[in-house]
Amino acid sequence: MIAVFDSGVGGLSVWREIVRELPGLPTVYLADQAHIPYGPRPLEEVRRFAEGITHFLLAQGAQVVVLACNTASAAALHHLRALFPQVPFVGMEPAVKPAAQRTRNGRVGVIATPATFQGELFASLLERFARDVRVIPQVCPGLVEAVEAGALDTPETEALLRACLEPLLAAGIDELVLGCTHYPFLRPLIERIVGPGVEIIDPAPAVARQVRRVLSSAGFQPSGTNFSARSPHPSPGPSLLPNLVRERGGERGGVLLRPKAAATPPFPFLPPPSAAMGEGDKEEWGQMLALGFQPAVQAEQVFYTTGDPAQFAAALERLVGVRAAVRPVCWVGEEIKIPCGG
């Protein structure tokens, strides 16, 4: 089981990529909304939260733990690896390396929380990968709270983003690193503000690939062709259909699928059709079913929050298109208990 945690809903941007990369594998997600936001808190306090959460997730059967929070990674990643040497951990770090490699003018902006910039991890990234690049850190107050509230495209959120991004644009950046897992949910608004001349880098897909590598190195062999029934990526992409050739055609000029000449069963599994699918997706799904594909067996996806389960469930559906029950858990001292008070 893959365990993912964050202070709130931001880590869902990472969870989404993990499910896309490793569909069919069970996951457990914990949102510590009782303590959100982590960003302004002292690193030692965040470290204690991360330790308590890790104990809880291991008790749920976690085999790898993903810190889907830049602040928690900066505060606690090294501490957790030392405290639980038998457990593989995957953390977040601002994508300074690819930004430094891709910049054309040597100016890179990073938006994140104060704690992310305070940690040794960020200083190490600058030392290792950005000696010849000007990296401009920018704290963005209020954005985490805006995403938690579902205010993804409001005038108030746009004003917060403009106040955050305008100094970076004035400095002439051509690369912008999203250094908080909440920020990818604001990407359309960010793109509208920065324009096409600035490349936006979200590290979540790279983190998902790292989770695959960690599982493989630990002896697990995750299948890249088993879809989760709750995958938030309902339309399989070409990379997930190695045995098919896509052709234009059909009554509406849609995509036709036929097996490659050398294709042999078993074919990949299909996610079930969902209300989120467009007409083209449904047509493609029917063609694949006719070719011998089979609907996937549902992987277990469990969600916990130390906050309001109803609010988190609404955010889960709004942000990643997943409708699921969310279980409440509570902090008792420095431990998480389920059920609350237990």
70 C-beta neighbours (distance < 10 Å), count? 32
Partner residues linked to 255 by β-bridges: 248
Q: DSSP secondary-structure letter at 111?
A: E
d(CA 12, CA 162) in angstroms, rounded, equals 24
d(CA 91, CA 181) in angstroms, rounded, equals 11
d(CA 165, CA 224) in angstroms, rounded, equals 38
Name the phi and psi angles at 301, rounded to 5.
-125, 115
Q: Give the residue numbers annotated as catalytic, written as ranges.
A: 69, 180
Torsion over CA: 31, 32, 35, 38 (sign): negative
CA distances (Å), 323 to each of 118, 264, 311, in order?
36, 35, 12
Answer yes or no: are the C-beta atoms of 99 and 175 closer than 8 Å: yes
Q: At which residue do the structure tokens 């949910």 appear? A: 185
Cβ-based neighbours of 51, under 8 Å, separated by 6 or more: 76, 79, 80, 83, 334
d(CA 180, CA 143) in angstroms, rounded, equals 10
Kindly state the tokens that stand for 38: 């982590």
In Å, how far from its chain's centre is CA 208? 8
Answer yes or no: are the C-beta atoms of 293 and 284 closer than 8 Å: no
